[in-house]
Structure 1
Amino acid sequence: MSRVLSMAYLTACDATPQEAVRIAARLGYAHVGLRLLPNAPGAPQQHLIDHPEALRETVALLRDTGVGVFDLEIIRINEGFEPLDYRPLLDAGAALGARAVLVAGDDTNATRLADGYARLCELMKPYGMTADLEFMPWTAVPHARAALSVIEGAGMPSNAGILVDALHFDRSATTLEDIRALPRQLLHYAQICDAPGRARQGRDFTVEEMIHTARCARLQPGEGDIDLAGLFAALPSDLPVSVEVVHLDRMRAMDPAEWARQCLAASRRFVA
């Protein structure tokens, strides 16, 4: 059976939700990821929350094309986190049939972070979506072991999850042994991309460089130095994969569907 592949928001970040669904359907992606809340104040997002007509149109397109919504972005757990503030995102996700919500951990107080995550998972249970905590080296959840610690501190909620992004695996203090040690029930999907490694750079990456690459300059699988073969061998063979490849300079020079097609073809060489 072929692996389920989803087109992440960043792979077609200029597309509306409706355009993203059409691109995914044309190219053979089974799902899309949508960013309905920005990852930083004033950052780009797709507009479905408080846009009922656009939401209805997107739901109709999903039904007509057979494409699903895999994940929604993004919930950030910070010092003043209040899960109820995210009900509009969860309500939109329920209408779209989304399976997961991407969660980032920014609260440096470990106890409060775990409590906030536990409260979020409790709120999300009736919605049928998982809360997938993504470790990122510049956040309060910098590696896979930290993500597991947060979830254990939250009491291992039934809808908890850990999101493994190939870029963050490579640039964080995460080993293949750490990946293999993650409980299977916490793994709902992973993200694939590529990037230059430390050896090519000649030094460690700064936080600013890591953030820039993550948001603006990822490479297609096979173009960089990430051990994608090792990573996806360590992850379950049936794990759905989100193709998350954004390179703003290169994307400006081609049609969005062509970029998404190239990224899908490159990804299939590692996760067919």
Structure 2
Amino acid sequence: MTAPLGLAALTVLDTAPLQQVDLAEKHGFDTIGIRLLPAAPGTTAYPLHEDEGALDALIRRLDDSPIEVFDLEIIRLGADFDPKSYVSLLEAGARLGAKAVLVGGDDRDRSRLTDSYARLAELCAQYGIVAGLEFMPWTAVPDAATAVEIVSQADGPARSVLVDGLHVGRSSTTLDDLAAIPRDWLHYAQMCDGSVPAPADDAELIRQAREERLVPGSGGIPLADIWSTLPAGLPVSIELPNEPLRRALGTDAWLARLVAATREVLAQVPAATGR
């Protein structure tokens, strides 16, 4: 089964959603992801949920395109999390046909974080969107096992764990941990590679994750082994920010290279996947 490919927001974060659709069409992607809220204060985002005209324009563009919106970014679960703050984002996402919203866990109070995720998942379910809790080694959800523990306390169809190849390679997550994630909690996964050995400090981990990921197959992360634990045909979002390499090649050649490299990695995954 051929996995649908998504163009993640972070890969071309300087590109507005309308132009992102153009790039996705040109380079053989099936979906796009849109960053509606910034990952960190002062960073780029496109708050379509606050701009009715821009949202309508994108919906009209998508009506004439084979490209679909798959995921939205990013809801961060902090100590002051209030799900009501994200109603307009989810309403916009439902209008766009989005399937998932990316969720980061920042609250170091595990009980409160778990409760916040459960409340968010309950809200997301009302809009037909899953709440993809992404484990990242510098956050309060550092590995797959922790993500599973948190998501298991929620109810309903919006429960979801998001696997990013970079974070698997740079956390304590094992292949057995990935295989243990309930299959119905996996809705998409993010593909990229990374240098080995991994940085030792969180600041450099974060910098590389946001600015210096590597083309699949050019780093040291065992991507084919990781994908062998995931369901066959699981949608793949290519999340690969690396502006120096992108500028050196040009955006068109860069995206063509990412698509080809991702397909090559997926072709290396043993056929008997999807446990």
Structure-2 residue corresponding to 1:183: 182
Q: 2-side partners of 1:79 and 1:6: how far apart?
A: 31
Match of 1:239 among 220, 234, 250: 234
Does the aligned pair in 1 maintain the 2:125–2:156 contact within 8 Å? no
1:103 is matched with 103
The number of residues matched between the two structures is 267
Offset at residue 205 of structure 1 (A): 2.2
Q: Shift in Å at residue 106 of structure 1?
A: 0.6
Q: What does residue 252 of structure 1 align with?
A: 247
Counterpart of 2:215 in structure 1: which amino acid? Q
SS in 2 for 1:37: coil
| 1:40 equivalenced with 2:35 (yes/no) | no
For residues 33-61 of structure 1, give each alpha carbon's deviation from its aligned partner in whole angstroms, at most 9, with x where no partner exists: 01010011111112412222211111111
Q: Which residue of 2 aligns with 1:77?
A: 77
Aligned to 2:271: none
Structure 2 SS opposite 1:131: strand
Residue deviations 1:57-90, cap 9 Å, x none?
1111111111000100000001000011011211
Within 1, Cα distance between the matches of 2:189 and 2:115?
A: 24
Task: Assess if the C-alpha contact under 8 Å between 1:161 and 1:187 holds in 2.
Answer: yes
Q: Which deviates more, 52-61 or 248-257?
A: 248-257
Q: Indicate the SS of the match to 2:123.
A: helix
Q: Percent identity at matched positions? A: 45
2:163 counterpart residue number = 164
Trace 1:56-135 onto structure 2 (pairs within 5 A). 56-135=56-135
Which runs of 5 or more residues in structure 1 are unaligned? none
Q: TM-score, normalization: structure 2?
A: 0.94
d(CA) in 1 for partners of 2:213, 2:92: 29
Bigger mean CA offset, 12-21 vs 47-56: 47-56
CA distance in 1 between counterparts of 2:252 and 2:56 reads: 23
Separation in 1, partners of 2:167, 2:44: 21
Measured in 2, the distance between the counterparts of 1:257 and 1:50 equals 30
- Matched AA of 2:113: L
Runs of 4+ in 1 over 6 A off after TM superposition: none
Q: Displacement, 1:123?
A: 1.1
SS in 2 for 1:234: coil
| Paired amino acid for 2:42 | G
Indicate the SS of the match to 2:76.
strand
Aligned residues: CA RMSD: 1.2
Aligned to 1:22: 22
| Secondary structure, counterpart of 2:117 in structure 1 | helix
Structure 2 residue identity aligned to 1:261:
A
Deviates most, 39-48 or 95-104: 39-48
When structure 1 is superposed on structure 2, of 45-54 and 226-235 the one drifting more is 45-54
Aligned equivalent of 2:153 = 153
Aligned residue identity for 2:190: Q
What's the TM-score, normalizing by structure 1?
Answer: 0.95
The offset of 1:157, in angstroms, is 3.2
Letter in 1 for 2:88: P
What is the letter of the counterpart of residue 180 of structure 2?
Answer: A
In structure 2, the partner of 1:137 is 137
For 2:15 and 2:92, the matched residues in 1 are separated by 18
In structure 2, list runs of 5 or more residues that go unmatched: 268-275
